[in-house]
Amino acid sequence: MRVLVTGGGTGGHIYPAVSLVNYIKEKHPESEFLYVGTKKGLESKIVPDKGIPFKSIEIQGFKRSLSLENVKTVYKFVKGIAAAKKIIRDFQPDIVMGTGGYVCGPVVYAAHKLHIPTIIHEQNSVAGVTNKFLARYVDKIGIAFAEAAASFPEDKVVLVGNPRAQEVAGTETSDILSDYQLDPGKPTVLVFGGSRGALKINQAMTESLPLLADKPYQVLYGSGDVYFDTVQTALADLPAMPHVKIVPYIKNMERVMVNVDLVAGRAGATSLAEFTALGLPAVLIPSPNVTNDHQTKNAMSLVNKGAAVIIKDAELTGEKLVNAIDGIMADPKRRQQMAQASRKQGIADATDRLYQLVEELLA
């Protein structure tokens, strides 16, 4: 089997594609893969590090206001289609899958024009612009949230979940918290603002440090490199707090998540897939700096099911964050109910379901 995957811009677009590649490698070791992205996107770093062959094309997104840049965008899109057709003809894939981001547009569209089976995957509850455009051309559409179905042709849509969920679902508990000088046997809250951190969450955590002094639970906070020194300085001015650990970045996130009792952070599609697969309750602070406010809609899909509580970014303070955490950690029954609701929303066999679409198209 020869599989071409494309998706870029954010990890939320890249990791589902990588997950599918890893899954197919296990089932069909003889398969060959090619990932098409852009040189400027995160995919240019992440994908080669995963050992997946990578090629790039040049593309950019449309501006939301009238702009001469949009003329350049159309020009690059047309050139991108031509470049994608050459890559596709050279690689001769059996199937092409796109996972979102501007680069998917010309690549998946080119595959359609070359009569190659195509699939797109939408990770968010609100469909992205590129996936909406491609919907009329592709053969199948996998979605991670049921709410996204309304944006696509009914006969093409299948609820599959996010492939990242299946990768973390089987993670076993361990004493990894001791690597962070925390007690593996103590109730733990994980707080993070994404790999780069988040300013508002950092500010709230800095404010919350005095309020965390006498809590019966411990806290692991991934601040992001940019904010690490600021929070460390705030912690240095307080009495010793061995139950609060701040690190710039958390490696092996799934191994940490499976050993905590509550997560607090942004509502990106990959994060939600990870912690719902593990059945974790959450305090969600959606980023306001995303297209169509899709993180709020992602979060509300869990809030409405009783799996999470939400705090608006603009309203976030240290006191509100700690109160939300306390409300869950101090009530074991509520925490258990939220965990059960979270697990019901996690689709632990997501990659199996997405792969089934591949098999259907290749049958």
Go through the domains of the chain in sequence order and give each one's CATH number.
Answer: 2-163+348-362 (3.40.50.2000), 171-345 (3.40.50.2000)
What is the pTM assigned to this prediction? 0.84
Question: Cα–Cα distances in Å, from 277 out to 192, 226, 270?
Answer: 18, 29, 11
- Lookup: tokens for 287: 């980023």
- Is there a binding annotation on residue 11? yes
- Is there a binding annotation on residue 250? yes
- Lookup: tokens for 91: 């690689």
Place of tokens 């700690």: 322
Find the helix or strand (DSSP H, E) in which 310 lies: strand 308-310
Place of tokens 């050279």: 90
**How far apart are alpha carbons 145 and 124 in whole angstroms?**
6
- Is there a binding annotation on residue 295? yes
Question: Cα–Cα distances in Å, from 306 out to 218, 251, 362?
Answer: 24, 29, 39
- Is there a binding annotation on residue 327? no
- Is there a binding annotation on residue 194? no
- Is there a binding annotation on residue 10? yes
* Cβ–Cβ under 8 Å, residues 31 and 358: no
pLDDT tens per residue across all 363 residues of the chain? 999 999 988 888 998 999 999 999 999 999 999 999 999 888 999 999 999 999 999 876 655 555 556 556 677 888 999 999 999 999 999 999 999 999 999 999 999 999 999 999 999 998 988 999 999 999 999 999 999 999 999 999 999 999 988 888 889 999 999 999 999 999 999 999 876 778 899 999 999 999 998 999 999 999 988 888 888 888 888 888 999 999 998 888 899 999 999 999 999 988 999 999 999 999 999 999 887 788 999 999 999 999 999 999 999 999 999 999 999 999 999 999 999 999 988 888 999 999 999 999 998
**How far apart are alpha carbons 351 and 353 in whole angstroms?**
5
What phi and psi values does residue 107 have, to the nearest 5 degrees?
-70, -50
What phi and psi values does residue 328 have, to the nearest 5 degrees?
-95, -45
**How far apart are alpha carbons 227 and 211 in whole angstroms?**
20
The helix/strand/coil state of 67 is: coil
Q: DSSP H helical segments within the chain, as ranges? A: 11-27, 43-49, 68-91, 104-113, 129-134, 163-169, 199-208, 225-236, 253-257, 269-277, 294-303, 318-329, 332-345, 350-362
